[in-house]
Amino acid sequence: MTDNKRKRVQVSFTEEQWELIENLKGSLGPTDADTVRNIVISWLAEKSFISEHVKNSGGEIKDVD
């Protein structure tokens, strides 16, 4: 994001979901926030949302408003 602006969001997980996230902590990031952020980015990339956004923006990575 531009100028390191970050948006904070609050999410809720079931115990089972949190257990999966805890098991990924360390390999996807050192903190809970890093792990969840990387899961979301990985999912967006897997579903081609990121490449479609870049393609539709003329090849530039821009913030999504």
Give the tens place of pLDDT for each residue, 1-49: 456 788 999 999 999 999 999 999 999 999 999 999 999 999 998 888 7
| pTM of the complete model | 0.69
The HSE-up count of residue 54 (CA atoms within 13 Å, CB side) is: 8
Question: Quick one: CA dihedral 38, 39, 44, 47, positive or negative?
Answer: positive
* Annotated domain spans of the chain: 31-65
Rounded to whole angstroms, how far apart are CA atoms 40 and 58?
23
